Amino acid sequence: MADEDPFLWLEDVTGEAALGWVRARNAETLEEITGGERFERLRKEIREVLDADDRIPYIRRRGEYFYNFWQDAANPRGLWRRTTLEEYRKDRPNWEVLLDVDALAEAEGENWVWQGATVLRPGFRLGLVELSRGGADATVVREFDLDRRAFVEDGFELPEAKSRVGWINEDLIYVGTDFGEGSLTTSGYPRVIKEWRRGTPLSAASTVYEGKLEDVSAFAYHDATPGFERDFVGSSPDFYRVEKFLRTEDELVRIDVPEDSQTTVHREWLLIRTRSPWTVNGRDYDAGTLLAAPFDDYLAGSRELTVLFEPDVRTSLEAYDWTRNHLVLTTLSDVRTQLHVLTPAEGWRREPMPAGPELGIAQVLDTDPDTSDEYLLGTSGFTEPPTLRYGHLGEETEVLKQSPARFDAEGVTVDQYFATSPDGTQIPYFVVRPQAAGGPTMLTGYGGFEVSRLPDYSGVLGRGWLARGGTYVLANIRGGGEYGPSWHTRAMKENRYLVYEDFAAVARDLVDRGITTREKLGTHGGSNGGLLMGVMLTRYPELFGAIVCQVPLLDMRRYHLLLAGASWMAEYGDPDDPAQWDYIGKYSPYQNVHSGRDYPPTLFMTSTRDDRVHPAHARKMVAKMRELGYGVRYHENIEGGHGAAADNEQLAQKWALLFEFLWSQLEY
């Protein structure tokens, strides 16, 4: 069937013919969308938001310092820097710059994009810095001396690959990378994990674990908690299952839990979060339950478990974070955040903890689980700018930083409604409306991989949409994690159609309530949300006045053969299996584009350097639609990776294209 595809040549990412096609489409789209004054105002205002000096510089503690990565107009590629708590409390902290990515890129003639650093505990003197070319997932790895603020000569270094690295001690690291034939999984991630000693060639590294070729990825990490040093290895057979082992000097000891559960170990405690119902020791536990047991007792065979959280039809566990002596639970009740503190030393005593706005979010951003009960808490809402609080559990919190408003929210209202999906399920969604409602409405959602979409603040959205009179709608459809694992699992594979029915139900409900009309309703989504947009385009075109489809999956017949696509078969299914293709093929957008349909105006956006979701999905969809006579728009950023932007200039351009397209199509 793939041989019948006339647009396979567009899968050649950097091929001369394919990039020539891309440049031609880019020129057409930019000429149409970017010529007016409104686009320039949008781009300028969004860039101001992204580069604003008074943004909160979010931090993470590593030893005595707090670290931050910062991008602005003067430093588009960014600065890796650090400061002390005393300095951070000041309006203008004195930052120690560790690495200037712009200067490095210029000196080396590379388009480096920062992808993070793994710093050695407990001394926090050495780091493994990851840099990508143009924002791709594949990175180069280099050892960095934080005290000297320089890369380590003859230190640990890896060429470009989708590697996994982690410290064991100052002279030893775990490494999974492209060691040659057979060392990667079919998804393109490390299959083999090795132990690599300083001063020896990578070829001399010794293998400590091997996954299967069909696994998604293998992993290994060292827990450096003083007094509880342990090593773990394992692999992920698919996106939601994990086989994890405690690595001792003599053997690998399997952590005997359901493969689809999530496990974490903190000091003497093992935590288990279930993703499906589990019966153990004569008791049934629902999906989404959080359980605790003494780690050593559990490995010795005990199955005495303590329930730390149990879900109900409205409430789910969103996150959990350890401090030195406590566990903080973040829960969602109808997508509204609540926080609780549990104390194991007192029989897991539970106490409520102040959260954020009622229709907003509260997130534990960082803790210090080794030495203290310190935490950093971020709060925001659709109309409430972010606030960063600092404190120690059991004490009053301190407001460290507060972002100024990026748009005038006077008179803007936030409401939550519920739409009824065809099977009767109630689907929550948020509506953010300016005082003078009646302008265009922009609906978005995701619906996959148990990712929750929460009501947080966006200066970009505020300036580009709300402040201009647009209404914004966020749908919490199935496939996400807003109501726990079951909200996700019930919409996987053969039940994927529920995601699309949910989103269509929200679109209809918006019109039925008089919030908008079909002509004024636009929608956008990216990645798995881009697939959602493709399905809306091909199966529900009558519901929308315009669609923006970003970094999307669209050719579900070949998605598992392109880049990291094989890793998502647990979500969507295997198109090579006729029984599974039977249900995938019913919604796969690329296969469901037909002539003679009344499709709404659509803009497709992707990135050449996206090495996660192949740009050919969007390329081929546009080529096919153009061949059928549809006037579809297309823009492909040459850099940017899966985020489709490598710096704030590109990000401002991306958002301005999206907003300008929707304004131009929906404003009547």
In the sheet where 60-62 sits, what is the strand order?
Answer: 60-62, 65-70, 79-83, 96-100
Angle (nearest 5°) at CA 94 between 93 and 98: 120
Phi first, then psi: give them for residue 253, nearest 5 degrees: -105, 115
- Asked if 204 contacts 190 with a C-beta cutoff of 8 angstroms, the reply is no
- Asked if 255 contacts 246 with a C-beta cutoff of 8 angstroms, the reply is yes
| 178 vs 392: CA distance, rounded Å | 43
Look up tokens 């399905």; give the residue: 535
Angstrom CA distances, 435 to 233, 380, 385, 585, stand at: 55, 20, 19, 43
| 36 vs 42: CA distance, rounded Å | 10
Count other Cβ atoms within 10 Å, centred on residue 599.
18
Contacts of residues 558-563 at CB distance under 8 Å and 24 or more positions apart, as own/partner, are 558/2, 558/5, 559/617, 562/11, 562/613, 562/614, 562/616, 562/617, 563/188, 563/611, 563/612, 563/613, 563/614
User: Helix (H, G, I), strand (E, B), or coil: what is residue 204?
Assistant: helix
From 447, 454, 433, select the one nearest 333 (Cα to Cα). 454
User: Helix (H, G, I), strand (E, B), or coil: what is residue 312?
Assistant: coil
| 501 vs 423: CA distance, rounded Å | 9
| 242 vs 234: CA distance, rounded Å | 7
Look up tokens 């404003």; give the residue: 667
Strands 521-526 and 546-550, bridge-based pairing: parallel
Residues taking part in catalysis: 527, 642
- Asked if 418 contacts 506 with a C-beta cutoff of 8 angstroms, the reply is no
